[in-house]
Amino acid sequence: MLVGEQPGDQEDLAGRPFVGPAGRILDQALEQAGIARQDVFVTNAVKHFKHEVRGKRRLHKRPNVHEIERCRWWLEHERALVRPATIVALGATAARSVLGRTVSVFKTRGSAQRLADGTAAVVTIHPSFLLRIKDVAEKKREYRKFVSDLRGSKNLSAATRSP
Protein backbone atom coordinates (compact mmCIF):
# COMPACT_ATOMS: atom_id res chain seq x y z
CA MET A 1 0.00 0.00 0.00
CA LEU A 2 1.35 3.42 -1.00
CA VAL A 3 0.04 6.44 0.88
CA GLY A 4 0.58 9.94 -0.48
CA GLU A 5 -0.31 13.32 0.98
CA GLN A 6 -3.49 14.47 -0.79
CA PRO A 7 -4.81 14.71 -4.33
CA GLY A 8 -3.16 17.35 -6.47
CA ASP A 9 -4.95 19.42 -9.09
CA GLN A 10 -4.81 16.72 -11.79
CA GLU A 11 -5.66 13.94 -9.33
CA ASP A 12 -8.65 15.92 -8.06
CA LEU A 13 -9.94 16.35 -11.60
CA ALA A 14 -9.27 12.70 -12.56
CA GLY A 15 -10.57 11.24 -9.30
CA ARG A 16 -7.49 8.99 -8.98
CA PRO A 17 -4.22 9.37 -7.04
CA PHE A 18 -0.85 10.03 -8.64
CA VAL A 19 -1.84 10.75 -12.24
CA GLY A 20 0.06 14.06 -12.56
CA PRO A 21 3.79 14.83 -12.72
CA ALA A 22 4.53 13.22 -9.33
CA GLY A 23 2.59 10.17 -10.47
CA ARG A 24 4.77 9.81 -13.54
CA ILE A 25 7.87 9.85 -11.33
CA LEU A 26 6.24 7.31 -9.01
CA ASP A 27 5.36 5.01 -11.92
CA GLN A 28 8.94 5.14 -13.25
CA ALA A 29 10.42 4.49 -9.79
CA LEU A 30 8.04 1.60 -9.15
CA GLU A 31 9.02 0.04 -12.46
CA GLN A 32 12.72 0.38 -11.65
CA ALA A 33 12.10 -1.13 -8.20
CA GLY A 34 10.39 -4.12 -9.82
CA ILE A 35 6.93 -3.26 -8.51
CA ALA A 36 3.92 -3.33 -10.82
CA ARG A 37 1.63 -0.39 -10.07
CA GLN A 38 -1.43 -2.61 -10.45
CA ASP A 39 -0.07 -4.79 -7.63
CA VAL A 40 -0.19 -1.98 -5.06
CA PHE A 41 -3.08 -0.06 -3.56
CA VAL A 42 -2.41 3.67 -3.96
CA THR A 43 -4.22 6.21 -1.81
CA ASN A 44 -3.76 9.49 0.05
CA ALA A 45 -3.74 10.40 3.73
CA VAL A 46 -6.01 13.39 3.13
CA LYS A 47 -8.83 12.80 0.70
CA HIS A 48 -9.60 16.33 -0.45
CA PHE A 49 -7.48 18.72 -2.53
CA LYS A 50 -6.57 21.62 -0.27
CA HIS A 51 -5.66 24.54 -2.47
CA GLU A 52 -5.86 28.24 -3.08
CA VAL A 53 -6.89 29.81 -6.36
CA ARG A 54 -4.42 32.15 -8.04
CA GLY A 55 -5.73 33.39 -11.34
CA LYS A 56 -6.81 30.30 -13.23
CA ARG A 57 -4.58 27.94 -11.25
CA ARG A 58 -5.34 25.91 -8.14
CA LEU A 59 -2.18 25.82 -6.05
CA HIS A 60 -1.51 23.09 -3.50
CA LYS A 61 -1.66 23.94 0.20
CA ARG A 62 -0.28 21.53 2.78
CA PRO A 63 -2.95 19.89 4.97
CA ASN A 64 -2.79 20.69 8.66
CA VAL A 65 -2.78 18.20 11.55
CA HIS A 66 -6.54 18.54 12.05
CA GLU A 67 -7.22 17.63 8.40
CA ILE A 68 -4.82 14.68 8.58
CA GLU A 69 -6.50 13.37 11.72
CA ARG A 70 -10.03 13.94 10.36
CA CYS A 71 -9.21 11.75 7.32
CA ARG A 72 -7.35 9.07 9.27
CA TRP A 73 -10.47 6.92 9.81
CA TRP A 74 -10.77 6.59 6.03
CA LEU A 75 -7.19 5.37 5.70
CA GLU A 76 -7.81 2.89 8.53
CA HIS A 77 -10.84 1.51 6.66
CA GLU A 78 -8.76 1.17 3.47
CA ARG A 79 -6.08 -0.68 5.44
CA ALA A 80 -8.69 -3.03 6.90
CA LEU A 81 -10.01 -3.83 3.41
CA VAL A 82 -6.65 -4.13 1.65
CA ARG A 83 -4.73 -5.74 4.53
CA PRO A 84 -1.33 -4.74 3.15
CA ALA A 85 1.83 -6.53 4.23
CA THR A 86 3.70 -3.23 3.98
CA ILE A 87 2.65 0.41 3.89
CA VAL A 88 4.91 2.98 2.25
CA ALA A 89 4.28 6.51 3.51
CA LEU A 90 5.26 8.98 0.80
CA GLY A 91 6.27 12.16 2.63
CA ALA A 92 5.66 13.78 6.01
CA THR A 93 1.87 14.06 5.81
CA ALA A 94 1.49 10.39 4.90
CA ALA A 95 3.97 9.42 7.63
CA ARG A 96 1.97 11.40 10.19
CA SER A 97 -1.21 9.64 9.13
CA VAL A 98 0.25 6.13 8.96
CA LEU A 99 2.40 6.30 12.10
CA GLY A 100 0.09 8.53 14.14
CA ARG A 101 2.91 10.92 14.97
CA THR A 102 5.20 13.45 13.35
CA VAL A 103 8.52 12.06 12.14
CA SER A 104 11.44 13.42 10.15
CA VAL A 105 11.26 11.83 6.72
CA PHE A 106 15.03 12.04 6.27
CA LYS A 107 15.80 10.48 9.66
CA THR A 108 13.34 7.57 9.32
CA ARG A 109 13.60 7.13 5.56
CA GLY A 110 13.80 3.54 4.34
CA SER A 111 13.84 1.90 7.77
CA ALA A 112 11.13 -0.63 8.58
CA GLN A 113 8.80 0.11 11.46
CA ARG A 114 6.00 -1.99 12.91
CA LEU A 115 2.57 -0.55 13.48
CA ALA A 116 0.47 -1.59 16.49
CA ASP A 117 -1.24 -4.33 14.45
CA GLY A 118 2.11 -5.71 13.23
CA THR A 119 1.94 -4.21 9.72
CA ALA A 120 5.31 -3.10 8.39
CA ALA A 121 5.63 0.58 7.49
CA VAL A 122 8.34 2.43 5.60
CA VAL A 123 8.69 6.19 5.26
CA THR A 124 10.24 7.76 2.19
CA ILE A 125 10.03 11.00 0.26
CA HIS A 126 7.00 12.09 -1.71
CA PRO A 127 7.80 11.98 -5.45
CA SER A 128 6.87 15.66 -5.75
CA PHE A 129 10.01 16.40 -3.70
CA LEU A 130 12.03 15.28 -6.72
CA LEU A 131 10.18 17.78 -8.93
CA ARG A 132 11.42 20.64 -6.73
CA ILE A 133 15.14 19.74 -6.83
CA LYS A 134 16.97 22.00 -9.27
CA ASP A 135 20.47 20.46 -9.14
CA VAL A 136 20.62 17.59 -11.66
CA ALA A 137 23.17 15.51 -9.72
CA GLU A 138 21.23 15.88 -6.47
CA LYS A 139 17.97 15.00 -8.24
CA LYS A 140 19.52 11.80 -9.65
CA ARG A 141 20.95 10.88 -6.25
CA GLU A 142 17.61 11.40 -4.49
CA TYR A 143 15.77 9.51 -7.22
CA ARG A 144 18.10 6.51 -6.80
CA LYS A 145 17.47 6.59 -3.03
CA PHE A 146 13.73 6.71 -3.70
CA VAL A 147 13.92 3.64 -5.95
CA SER A 148 16.04 1.91 -3.30
CA ASP A 149 13.42 2.71 -0.63
CA LEU A 150 10.68 1.23 -2.84
CA ARG A 151 12.77 -1.85 -3.58
CA GLY A 152 13.39 -2.29 0.15
CA SER A 153 9.67 -2.08 0.85
CA LYS A 154 9.07 -4.74 -1.80
CA ASN A 155 11.62 -7.03 -0.13
CA LEU A 156 10.09 -6.32 3.27
CA SER A 157 6.63 -7.11 1.95
CA ALA A 158 7.85 -10.38 0.42
CA ALA A 159 9.51 -11.36 3.71
CA THR A 160 6.37 -10.48 5.68
CA ARG A 161 4.14 -12.61 3.45
CA SER A 162 6.47 -15.65 3.45
CA PRO A 163 5.53 -18.52 5.83
Q: What domains can be seen in the chain, in order of their start residue?
A: 2-158 (3.40.470.10)
pLDDT in tens, 145-158: 999 999 999 988 87
pLDDT in tens, 70-100: 889 999 999 999 999 999 999 999 999 999 9
pLDDT in tens, the chain (163 residues): 999 998 777 786 788 889 989 999 999 999 999 999 999 999 999 886 665 777 877 576 788 888 888 889 999 999 999 999 999 999 999 999 999 999 999 999 988 999 999 999 999 999 999 999 999 999 999 999 999 999 999 988 877 665 5
3-state secondary structure the chain: CEEECCCCHHHHHHCCCCCCHHHHHHHHHHHHHCCCHHHCCEEECCCCCCEEEECCEEEECCCCHHHHHHHHHHHHHHHHHHCCCEEEEECHHHHHHHHCCCCCHHHHECCEEECCCCCEEEEECCHHHHHHCCCHHHHHHHHHHHHHHHHHHHHHHHHHHCC
- pTM of this prediction exceeds 0.75: yes
In this prediction, residue 60 carries a pLDDT of 61
